[in-house]
Amino acid sequence: GENVEQHPSTLSVQEGDSAVIKCTYSDSASNYFPWYKQELGKRPQLIIDIRSNVGEKKDQRIAVTLNKTAKHFSLHITETQPEDSAVYFCAASGGGYQKVTFGTGTKLQVIP
Amino acid sequence: DSGVTQTPKHLITATGQRVTLRCSPRSGDLSVYWYQQSLDQGLQFLIQYYNGEERAKGNILERFSAQQFPDLHSELNLSSLELGDSALYFCASSVAESLYNEQFFGPGTRLTVL
């Protein structure tokens, strides 16, 4: 089955700096890659997603890049703010009606 | 507030027991997903229902079962509970069948098995 590895497990950055979280996946059939943000004690929320026919997608300060050949994708957060502090999960699935596999999460701390 | 409701918020029970978790999707959403989040296993997809029918299955144990009713609410039944079943169980809903549609998560049910 699919295996998703996520790094780093924890990340501390100064407010205003950029943060990058990386994930690799094993199943070349995976074609949908969502990212979720989970604040402490709260529910996961989708922040951005990308399909395999696209190499990059951007939404304001958040961007995701996908390298299908290397089977890895990354989340980039620019101009980080304290409210970006949370656990971020990457995920991979065959899209459509396939099951989704999550990475182990990255705890991001933005230091004011 | 995502519009997805889950009851109960907390559940404490003993090993060997059976519990039922309930989820009401957002108005208009036909798909319901169940997830388990634990410290050692992370976030795991369990199962998806669409308009009453099972659509995708993840790492759901045989001791667990789910269903979606005609009014679209869903229940996750956990039986012969073990200590390792202690976790946060999330339900999510989306408007259509495909995983490409955004999922909205409920607040979760925290299950503690003693």
Q: Across the interface, do B103 and A46 touch by the CB < 8 Å criterion? A: yes
Q: What is the 3-state secondary structure (H, E, C) of chain B?
A: CCCCEEECCEEEECCCCCEEEEEECCCCCCEEEEEEEECCCEEEEEEEEECCEEEEECCCCCCEEEEECCCCCEEEEECCCCHHHCEEEEEEEECCCCCCCCCEECCCEEEEEC
Q: Across the interface, do A96 and B103 touch by the CB < 8 Å criterion? A: no
CB atoms near residue B71 (< 10 Å): 9
Rg of chain A taking only CA atoms, in angstroms: 13
Q: Mean pLDDT across the stretch B59-69?
A: 95
Among chain B residues, CA nearest to A91 = B43
Place of tokens 């519009």: B3
Q: pLDDT value at position B59?
A: 83
pLDDT higher than threshold 70 for residue A57: yes
Q: pLDDT value at position A16?
A: 97
- Strand-pair partners of A93: A32, A100
pLDDT higher than threshold 80 for residue B29: yes
State what percent of residues in chain A have pLDDT above 70: 97
Please answer whether residues B46 and B76 qualify as being in contact, where contact means their C-beta atoms are separated by less than 8 angstroms: yes
Region for B39 from its dihedrals, namely left if φ exceeds 0, alpha if ψ lies in -120 to 50, beta otherwise: alpha
pLDDT higher than threshold 90 for residue B101: no
Q: Across the interface, do B90 and A44 touch by the CB < 8 Å criterion? A: yes
Q: Mean pLDDT across the stretch B1-28?
A: 96
Q: pLDDT value at position A53?
A: 86
Q: Across the interface, do B43 and A105 touch by the CB < 8 Å criterion? A: yes
Q: pLDDT value at position B15?
A: 98
Contact residues, B window 11-70, toward A, CB-based 8 Å cutoff? 42-45, 48, 55-58
**What is the overall mean pLDDT for chain B?**
94
Q: Across the interface, do A32 and B100 touch by the CB < 8 Å criterion? A: yes
pLDDT higher than threshold 70 for residue A67: yes
CA-to-CA distance for A64 and A73, rounded, in angstroms?
Answer: 7
- On chain A, the residues whose CB falls within 8 A of the CB of B66 are none
Q: pLDDT value at position A97?
A: 62
CA-closest candidate to residue B51, choices B35, B28, B34: B28
Q: Report residue A54's pLDDT band, with 50, 70 and 90 as the boundaries.
A: confident
CA-to-CA distance for B111 and A89, rounded, in angstroms?
Answer: 22
CA-closest candidate to residue B105, choices A89, A29, A71: A89
CA-to-CA distance for A43 and B64, rounded, in angstroms?
Answer: 22
- On chain A, the residues whose CB falls within 8 A of the CB of B1 are none
Q: Is B106 on the interface with A (CB under 8 A)?
A: yes
